[in-house]
Structure 1
Amino acid sequence: MTHPLVAKAWETLRVEEPEPGLLVVTLNRPHRANAMNTTLGEELIALFGTLEAAPHACQAVVLTGAGDRAFCAGADLAERNGMDDEAFARQHYMFERMMRALLACPVPLIAAVNGAAFAGGLELVLSCDFAYAVEGARFAFTEVTRGIMPGGGGTQHLPRSIGARRAKEIIFTGAHFTAEEALAWGIVNRLVPPGEVLAQALATARRIAANAPVAIRQAKKAIDHGLQADLRTGMQMEIEAYYQLIPTQDRREGIAAFNEKRPPRFTGR
């Protein structure tokens, strides 16, 4: 059965299900370097809101951009040209909701960074669980060169990822940095040759999808919420998540499969 998000008609996204349980969401505005306009933001809210409401509907999501030039160049400044303060604030609040929708994705969300990721585009990358990037990709928080600042989580995600001092240099200067630097600093997990980033992200998503779905969702929840707390509280959150898995069929299946020397057949229950 075709996933309902694949069947839906999107204006700025392309949604595909290359195999059951895996979704590829492509920012599909290559003529504008996949920059985020109002429609794209609203469609991402709708898509990830649907996933949050139906966590069993898929097991992993890969987010990428159309073409080989840009993952996402940030907000579409052509659309913002001439906006009055009220309209600007209204649109930005929508982008805030969009980023929160990505963070609420209940299943692993992998960024396949196929090109430049600037400003809000880099914030999209940082809102994913982890990222692979093409060799030669470029990154930057350019907002201060346009009279604003990162406002989609950039000032919070980046220092948590690479440390406050390096994050301040990146944000205060607006300077570009390379894919190699992004890898060394931990912003991306892997660099891949041109044309291969989506395939490698999908290979990892496939490996994730072979594991117990409820266990993956509980582990993600424990990591994400535990990082917002002190160590002892985080460990308690981990145990609360762990004990939710004991009565599942998948837990019993995993033990049985090991002892019967066969691959497990997880059902997400």
Structure 2
Amino acid sequence: MTKYEMIEVEDVGSVKVAKLNRPQAANAINTQLGCELLDVFADLAVPRDTRCVILSAAGERHFCAGGDLKERNGMTDDQYLKQHAVYERMVRAIVECPIPVIAAVNGIAYAGGTELVLACDFAYAVPHARFALTETSLGIMPGCGGTQNLPRAIGMRRAKELILSATPFSAEEALQWGMLNKIVSGSVMDEAMATATKIASNGPLAITQAKRAMNFGAQMDLRSAMEFEIDAYNRLATSNDRKEGIAAFNENRAPQWTGN
């Protein structure tokens, strides 16, 4: 396994846990952390043994404060744009990951931190988590999917209010509006791991195709989306995993998935 300096990566069975590890800097994303996170998710572009990913962070106060503004201080325009290109690729790698990605939000997630949460398939958070897309207060705008993913999660009118005013919002509000799936009073990592383990126990081909059908279908009209769903379904019809699932059910045993 590749060793990283700014991310802790651990495989727990079929679940990969990736934790941002710059607690002394509020887990802000500098160029190196961006490159490392890109590498982690680029490696998952072709699924192998990993069946689910949990994205979290070290410490108990901050999930991610966004881009590291101290590193950006004094950058030339060219350096700034090259750095942001890394961040763009990083977020796309998360969004396009073929296996499910769960955000376990352990604290404050501002700017790029909120965008990281939005890039995941769904998210759990601790009660004291807070979110914000603060970029307009710095003379820029969200540039890692925030203007696209937030409206899709909570609705266009509310997203416009939050992005244009750069107003923070609470975990309770994020849950109420549909950005979070659950607020966890205990260990958010334990909760995320319990769900990830359930996902990992299901057919890996089925999980990949179901995620693909939902992601692409959401961008289509209903008729086209249903046709796309059937295409994804038919890819599973001749798989060994489909036959194994039926056999395991009838033999009252746990299925042994091969991913074929």
TM-score class, shorter-chain normalisation, is: over 0.9
Deviation of 1:267 (Å): 2.1
Partner of 1:76: 68
Question: Residues 69 and 116 of structure 1 are in contact (CA less than 8 Å); yes or no, is this contact kept in structure 2?
Answer: yes
Question: How many residue pairs were aligned?
Answer: 260
Partner of 1:4: none
Query: Structure 1: which amino acid aligns with 2:205?
Result: V
C-alpha distance in 1, partners of 2:259/2:239? Answer: 8
- 1:233-252 paired onto structure 2 within 5 Å: 233-252=224-243
Does the residue aligned with 1:112 lie in a helix, a strand or coil?
A: strand
Query: Structure 2: which amino acid aligns with 1:44?
Result: L
Deviation of 1:206 (Å): 0.2
Deviation of 1:257 (Å): 1.8
Query: Structure 1: which amino acid aligns with 2:236?
Result: L
Instruction: Choose the corresponding residue for 1:148, options 123, 140, 156.
Output: 140
* Root-mean-square deviation (Å): 1.0
Question: Residues 33 and 70 of structure 1 are in contact (CA less than 8 Å); yes or no, is this contact kept in structure 2?
Answer: yes
Does the residue aligned with 1:220 lie in a helix, a strand or coil?
A: helix
C-alpha distance in 2, partners of 1:45/1:177? Answer: 28
Instruction: Choose the corresponding residue for 2:24, options 25, 28, 31.
Output: 31
Deviation of 1:72 (Å): 0.6
Deviation of 1:265 (Å): 2.2
C-alpha distance in 2, partners of 1:78/1:243? Answer: 51
C-alpha distance in 2, partners of 1:102/1:256? Answer: 34
Question: Residues 110 and 201 of structure 1 are in contact (CA less than 8 Å); yes or no, is this contact kept in structure 2?
Answer: yes
| % identity of equivalent residues | 55
Partner of 1:15: 9
Q: Does structure 1 residue 159 correspond to structure 2 residue 151?
A: yes
Query: Structure 2: which amino acid aligns with 1:181?
Result: E
Question: Residues 51 and 57 of structure 1 are in contact (CA less than 8 Å); yes or no, is this contact kept in structure 2?
Answer: no
Q: Does structure 1 residue 120 correspond to structure 2 residue 101?
A: no
Q: Which TM-score applies when normalising by structure 1?
A: 0.94
Greater CA drift, 210-219 or 223-232: 223-232
Question: Residues 113 and 137 of structure 1 are in contact (CA less than 8 Å); yes or no, is this contact kept in structure 2?
Answer: yes
Partner of 1:266: 257
Instruction: Choose the corresponding residue for 1:171, options 158, 163, 169.
Output: 163
Question: Residues 144 and 173 of structure 1 are in contact (CA less than 8 Å); yes or no, is this contact kept in structure 2?
Answer: yes
CA deviation profile, 1:138-166 (whole Å, cap 9, x unmatched): 00001011111100000000111111100
Partner of 2:199: 208
C-alpha distance in 2, partners of 1:263/1:57? Answer: 18
Partner of 2:128: 136
Does the residue aligned with 2:63 lie in a helix, a strand or coil?
A: strand
Instruction: Choose the corresponding residue for 1:193, options 185, 198, 209.
Output: 185
Deviation of 1:17 (Å): 1.1
Query: Structure 2: which amino acid aligns with 1:257?
Result: A
CA deviation profile, 1:14-55 (whole Å, cap 9, x unmatched): 10012x211100001101110000001111111111110x31
Does the residue aligned with 1:187 lie in a helix, a strand or coil?
A: coil
Deviation of 1:250 (Å): 1.1
CA deviation profile, 1:59-81 (whole Å, cap 9, x unmatched): 00000011001111100000001
C-alpha distance in 2, partners of 1:71/1:61? Answer: 16
Does the residue aligned with 1:17 lie in a helix, a strand or coil?
A: strand
In structure 2, runs of 5+ residues without a counterpart are none
Query: Structure 2: which amino acid aligns with 1:17?
Result: D
Partner of 1:3: none
Query: Structure 1: which amino acid aligns with 2:192?
Result: A
